[in-house]
A and B are shown apart, each in its own frame.
Chain A
Amino acid sequence: MNQFVASNHEILEVNYLNEERGIMSWLLTKDHKRIGLMFLGATIFFFFLGGVYALLLRLELLTPGPTIMDALSYNRAFTLHGVIMVFLFMIVAIPSAFGNFLIPIMIGAKDVAFPRLNLLSFYIYVVGALLALWGMIQGGADTGWTFYAPYSSITPTKVIPILLGIFIVGFSSIATGLNFIVSIHTLRAPGLKWMNLPLFVWAIYSTSIIQVLATPVLGLLMVLVMVEHAFGFGIFDPARGGDPVMFQHLFWFYSHPAVYIMILPAMGVISETIAATARRKVFGYKMIAWSSLGIALVGFFAWGHHLFVSGQSTLTAGIYSVLSMLVGVFTAIKVFNWVGTLYRGAVKFTTPFAYICGFLFFLVFGGMTGVAVAAISLDVHWHDTYFVVAHFHFIMVGAVLMGFLAALHYWFPKMFGRKYPEGWGLVSAVLIILGFNATFIPQFLLGNMGMPRRYFQYPEQFQALHVASTAGASLIAFGFIIIAIYLIISLKYGKLVDGNPWNARGFEWMTSSPPPKHNFHHDPEFPETPYDYHLPEAKHAHAA
């Protein structure tokens, strides 16, 4: 057993949560763990908000004609759903919340390199998010989260506060990414080699590279759209010689890698949790680590597949098609190695494992339908239909959210020193996984039938599948309500855990749960790898 177990109850009395008290000790904290928790709270709030919009959309689509709203409200609702989920929840959730909490502990540091910048990053996020929220209250935009020019230049709705909000939130993303890269380079515990870093650290490192490199481009692009909307500079206006397709290139130069900002951290979570649930060293550690960097790199050169039907030349389309498929190869490498980790392991079925299984299904199905839409001749039929909607929801909602929920359950004891009820955890996991399938598999079929996306009214032949999809969405909502209830109750009444409830060997478990303010009671001496499940406990503890 872990060395901290014996003294756990003393340790529980003083930890990062209770060492300082009062609201100001949170608002002005420079502790990466508290900042991580604040990010977690804020992103969960926005996830809830985006979820409400999702349910409104699904309700509206129950019937072919207007159901509960008019066309303008519908157009605003899907825009806000996308903006909130992409920019305020998914891009931020795992890196800024779990990354912040875990990265310094996993590399044996007391904090991130720039703690003040870290806090600033949180407030930048809050300011940007509030601005976007204010824009929504003002009436919101009806452009879709992609803000395609020239429609975004001429729409009568109020796009500027939302664009400005996204612009500002981008700086938070840059600051956090920069902080992680510098921390991982300069703050690793003595003797901790790159090739022994936990895979979650590799995933966040790759994510941070994308965040730092791509976000500035999006930032300036948002400025350009604002200028277009407010003053009509003509940059994207064909009447003045501008080129609206250039907007798409610049937009997807950020927004395609942004998909990897979302999925890479989730992949990192799966690498950690799968090793702990199988009690086995991650199979093909190096392959998983390098493929993360591979995704980050190739992901930058795949954006053109969003423009297959926008008049690209045949050759250009072909190049983007191959590059997009390479991302699929890197992903497949990871999937095989994860499954290889389970082989001859010692697997325990827990809520995180349920989410791992869900993740594998959604990632493989969603990822391979991604390869399918990268096959150009098929994409011509599927482009901008519900097939694409279902594909990216499988990845972004299915896989990313599975990763998020696995992380939330796996590290809940780390963060709060208490456990959630395992039975309820499994019930909600099954509900959510079934609900996702029921929601989005009909949408794949709708796409095959030719149902275009962002349709307020649709021909009647599509109705049956829309009804099925809405029914599935209500299952998901139900699952999340259960999670919200038991996690909130567990915060206060959950079973107290010893320092290492999963009996895991990951570096983050080398300290008490919850950790002390400076993460470690003594200078950490980590074992050689975070996955040494082949060593007997005594040796492992000795190494530590």
Chain B
Amino acid sequence: MHTQREGQPYLADHFGSLESQIDASRLGMWMFLGTEVLLFGPLFTAYALYRFLYPAAFQAASHHLDIAYGTINTLILITSSLTVAMAVHFAKVGKNKRVVAMIVLSLLAGFAFLGIKSVEYAHKFHEGALPGKYYALEAVKEPGASLFFAIYFLATGVHALHVIIGMSVLVWIGWRAARNTISPEYYVPVELGGMYWHLVDLIWIFLYPLLYLI
């Protein structure tokens, strides 16, 4: 732990070398990201099946969503991915102050995303565009439309949870950067945390067209 504070890599004694330790962390992270993608698997499956069964309802319900909210949120998340990527870059070259700045920007983007999402949710609650038995939307009457909103709320809800987890990870990275416990020799936490954020972003890139565009 002492070595860690100086920004030096901490080598656990069961690893032969720092390289293999970093390899292990990367491999572990990639596999974890794989499980995250699979976690969304049932929702994508449900979407595909029900879109196939109720094409008209899904189209109508999808058009009922406000593209503006979705598009702005997409732009926000893409921007945040950029700032996170820059944070990783600055960590690599040892500019920890800039890492912190980039993390703060990314966090702001995260809050903005969640803020817009909650406005959108409130709007849906108000007009009754809700799943299952709560469905009371006058505009879209086709059978199966309530399924669209069930998937909409589940998918965006689980995604929003991931945004919150991702933001917590960013806070942790920022804190480490602020305390200079990362260095150009050891910036794995920033790299892996960044990968997680990119994944959260990537899942949204899939959800956005499925829910808002087509």
Contact = CB atoms under 8 A, between A and B. Distances in A.
Interface of A: 104, 109-115, 174, 178-179, 181-183, 185-187, 190, 212-217, 219-221, 223-224, 227, 231-235, 237, 240-243, 246, 249-250, 518
B32 A220 contact: no
Contacts of B43: 220
B41 A234 contact: no
A107 B38 CA distance: 29
B20 interface: yes
B69 interface: no
Interface string B102-136: 00000000000000000000000000000111110
Given A186-B24, A187-B14, A237 B38 contact: no
Contacts of A190: 16
A265 to B, nearest CB: 19
Contacts of B49: 243, 246
B3 interface: no
A344 B12 CA distance: 46
Nearest to A222: B42
A186 B46 contact: no
B27 interface: yes
19 contacts: A110-B14, A111-B14, A174-B35, A179-B28, A182-B24, A182-B27, A212-B31, A213-B34, A214-B38, A216-B38, A217-B38, A220-B39, A220-B40, A221-B42, A223-B154, A232-B132, A233-B131, A235-B150, A240-B135
Nearest to B13: A110
A112 B24 CA distance: 10
Contacts of A243: 49-50, 53
Nearest to A208: B31
Closest 8 CB pairs of A and B: A234-B132, A110-B14, A216-B39, A233-B131, A233-B150, A216-B38, A111-B14, A186-B24
Contact of A231 (B27, B36, B38, B132): B132
A217 B153 CA distance: 18
Given A224-B154, A241-B54, A235 B46 contact: yes
B45 A241 contact: no
Given A187-B24, A231-B134, A242-B50, 10 more contacts: A178-B35, A185-B23, A216-B36, A223-B154, A224-B42, A233-B150, A233-B154, A234-B133, A235-B154, A249-B45
A181 B28 CA distance: 8
B10 interface: no
Nearest to A241: B144
B190 interface: no
B60 to A, nearest CB: 14
A22 B83 CA distance: 48
B42 A227 contact: no
